[in-house]
Amino acid sequence: MTHTMPTTRAAESRAPSKSWLLIGILVLSAFVMILNETILSVALRDLTVDLNITTTTVQWLTSGFLLTMAVVIPTTGFMLERLTPRQVFLASLTAFSLGTLLCAVATGFPMLLVGRIVQACGTAVMLPLLMTTVMRLVPAERRGATMGTITIVIAVAPAIGPTIGGAVLSSLGWRWMFGIVLPLAVAALIVGAIMLRLDSETRSVPLDVPSVILSALGFGGVLFGLSGSGDPSTQPLPPWVSIAVGVVALVVFGWRQLVLQRQDRALLDLRPFTHQPFNVALVLTSVLFMCLIGAGAILLPLYLQTVLHQSTFVTGLAVLPGGLVLGLLGRPVGALFDKVGARPLVIPGAIAMAVSLWLFAALGPASPLVAVIGIHVLLMASLGLMMTPLMTDALNSLPEHLYSHGSAIMSTLQQVMGALGTTLFVTVATVATVTAGAGPDASGLRAAFIVAGCLGVIGAVGSLFVRKRQAVEA
């Protein structure tokens, strides 16, 4: 690891105020982008009426966004090596701003979908850029607190997106969801263009086109199949065909990267997988995101609406405290990580996650709303104890030249595991439902929460393999 020493010292010798300013610009930009991911979820029903399209068609505004993210993120490791952080930032914000403008002035569904895809191209690049910049600018002993700020972005923006979307929709209409985001994106682009000056070495690595195609087929196929498993009628192909094609493409993609690594020109370098702490953190992060998206964001709202018969508005308010707790824990947990390492935080977090998921399984039609909110807050707090330490510990275990590839692998897996968790839990709930109806009932949701609880137990056992704190290298 000796080849990384000069760069690390250079990073530490930079003016701290400048470092924090650069990270602040990136964090605010990422917040605006990720807010946009979920702000549209409450408007899908209105869009079917306004654009005169079917529910099956309107879902592509979400599926298309997700698929584009899955295709673009694996290429970010290559982009962050080939281009400077400033160039990547400007490309990211320009694409996002252009996509937002297209959505705001869309004359019909095709233009709106194109806008969403262009937005996703910009959004996909931002989180790996943010993580890689933090790892390069911030000394190892202070990375936890800074990565905690990224947790706020990942957690709070999706949590408040539907709340803001609902408020805008009820008073101004769906176009204003993009109209409000656009000036924020343009302002971030202008400030970044002026302020973002970050020294970085680039390598003229040639782009391997077959790898890009295989990556798109692999990650795109798997996510496409998973996202349609809950309702196969929304897809032209049976979901298992898409997943099978995706898995085969990923195997070939992985083999090709191993070959290209020998010449140091892989699109996505797989050498982070040779570091055991990275692999342990990756497995636990996968479990975490399956539970966060599948159980917290999908099953719980389903339970609130179909079993407790709460309105959309009350459901949105009920899950808000948990999302805010998850975000607020980011920095304090990160600061604790800097002092004690990942293990003392991840183990109790994983145990609390398993407990909260089993408590969800004990809920029924007569459960009080306040109990549901309390269990959700416990779940989000447990995920908050795990998220920042796992992400930071995973990247800390890598040499500097693998930071960009490690963050790209983590970001891609978060997308795939979120979709896998959603598919798994919704499928279990649907299959286990014994009464006929439009959606899962109490018994079906209980079965899904039991599966989530079993996943939580796996996470608790896996947390025992998290390494003890390593002494910070001089």
| Structure confidence by residue, pLDDT tens digits, 18-69 | 677 778 888 888 888 877 776 776 677 778 888 887 766 777 787 778 778 8
Whole-angstrom Cα distance, residue 312 to residue 318?
10
319 and 253 both lie in a single domain: no
Whole-angstrom Cα distance, residue 171 to residue 163?
13
- 85: number of Cβ within 10 Å: 23
pLDDT computed for residue 54 by the predictor: 74
**Cβ neighbours of residue 88 closer than 8 Å, sequence gap 6 or more:** 76, 79, 80, 125, 129
Calculate the average pLDDT of the chain: 81
pLDDT computed for residue 15 by the predictor: 40
Shortest CA distance to 167 belongs to which of 180, 156, 157, 154? 180
Question: Taking residues 329-353, what's their average pLDDT?
Answer: 91
Give the chain's domain count.
3
Domain that holds residue 237: 208-266
Residue type, 315: T
24 and 39 both lie in a single domain: yes
**Cβ neighbours of residue 324 closer than 8 Å, sequence gap 6 or more:** 156, 159, 160
- With helix as H, strand as E and coil as C, how does 382-397 read? HHHHHHHHHHHHHHHC
* Digit-coded pLDDT (tens) for 299-328: 888 888 788 888 777 877 888 888 888 888
Q: Which residue has the tokens 């510990």?
A: 393
Query: In this structure, what token pair is assigned to residue 259?
Result: 């070959």
Domain end point (choices 164, 197, 230): 197
* Digit-coded pLDDT (tens) for 182-237: 998 898 888 888 877 766 666 666 778 888 889 888 888 887 777 666 555 656 67
In a domain, 11, yes or no: no
In this prediction the pTM is 0.78
403 and 380 both lie in a single domain: yes
144 and 226 both lie in a single domain: no
134 and 234 both lie in a single domain: no
In a domain, 6, yes or no: no
- How sure is the predictor about 377, in pLDDT bands with cuts at 50, 70 and 90? very high
Query: In this structure, what token pair is assigned to residue 33?
Result: 């982008």
In a domain, 5, yes or no: no
Domain end point (choices 155, 170, 197): 197
pLDDT computed for residue 436 by the predictor: 39
394 and 410 both lie in a single domain: yes
**CATH number of the CATH domain containing 145:** 1.20.1250.20
Whole-angstrom Cα distance, residue 361 to residue 425?
12
Whole-angstrom Cα distance, residue 56 to residue 314?
26
Domain end point (choices 139, 173, 197): 197
182 and 113 both lie in a single domain: yes
150 and 244 both lie in a single domain: no
Shortest CA distance to 29 belongs to which of 199, 189, 193? 189
In a domain, 3, yes or no: no
- How sure is the predictor about 3, in pLDDT bands with cuts at 50, 70 and 90? very low
Q: What percent of the chain has pLDDT over 90?
A: 23
Between 141 and 395, the more confident residue is 395
Whole-angstrom Cα distance, residue 386 to residue 459?
10
In a domain, 124, yes or no: yes
- With helix as H, strand as E and coil as C, how does the chain read? CHHHHHHHHHHHHCCHHHHHHHHHHHHHHHHHHHHHHHHCHHHHHHHHHHCCCCHHHHCHHHHHHHHHHHHHHHHHHHHHHHCCHHHHHHHHHHHHHHHHHHHHCCCCHHHHHHHHHHHHHHHHHHHHHHHHHHHHHCCHHHHHHHHHHHHHHHHHHHHHHHHHHHHHHHHCCCHHHHHHHHHHHHHHHHHHHHHCCCCCCCCCCCCCHHHHHHHHHHHHHHHHHHHHCCCHHHCCCCHHHHHHHHHHHHHHHHHHHHHHHCCCCCCCCCHHHHCHHHHHHHHHHHHHHHHHHHHHHHHHHHHHHHCCCCCHHHHHHHHHHHHHHHHHCHHHHHHHHHHHCCHHHHHHHHHHHHHHHHHHHCCCCCCCHHHHHHHHHHHHHHHHHHHHHHHHHHHHCCCHHHHHHHHHHHHHHHHHHHHHHHHHHHHHHHHHCCCCCCCCCHHHHHHHHHHHHHHHHHHHHHHCCCCCCCCCCC
Q: What percent of the chain has pLDDT over 70?
A: 86
> Are 335 and 148 in contact, with CB atoms under 8 Å apart?
yes
* Digit-coded pLDDT (tens) for 414-469: 877 877 787 788 778 877 775 534 455 678 888 889 999 999 999 999 999 998 87
Shortest CA distance to 102 belongs to which of 90, 85, 87, 119? 119
- With helix as H, strand as E and coil as C, how does 64-80 read? HHHHHHHHHHHHHHHHH
449 and 335 both lie in a single domain: yes
- With helix as H, strand as E and coil as C, how does 256-282 read? HHHHHHCCCCCCCCCHHHHCHHHHHHH
50 and 184 both lie in a single domain: yes
Whole-angstrom Cα distance, residue 129 to residue 95?
15
223 and 286 both lie in a single domain: no
285 and 250 both lie in a single domain: no
For the chain, the C-alpha Rg in angstroms (whole number) is 21
pLDDT computed for residue 345 by the predictor: 94
> Are 165 and 40 in contact, with CB atoms under 8 Å apart?
yes
Residue type, 178: F
Query: In this structure, what token pair is assigned to residue 145?
Result: 């607190």
- How sure is the predictor about 265, in pLDDT bands with cuts at 50, 70 and 90? confident
**CA of 417: how far to CAs of 42, 170, 291, 335, 362, in Å?**
23, 33, 9, 27, 25
In a domain, 8, yes or no: no
In a domain, 1, yes or no: no
pLDDT computed for residue 473 by the predictor: 41
Question: Taking residues 281-289, what's their average pLDDT?
Answer: 91
In a domain, 2, yes or no: no
Whole-angstrom Cα distance, residue 237 to residue 284?
32
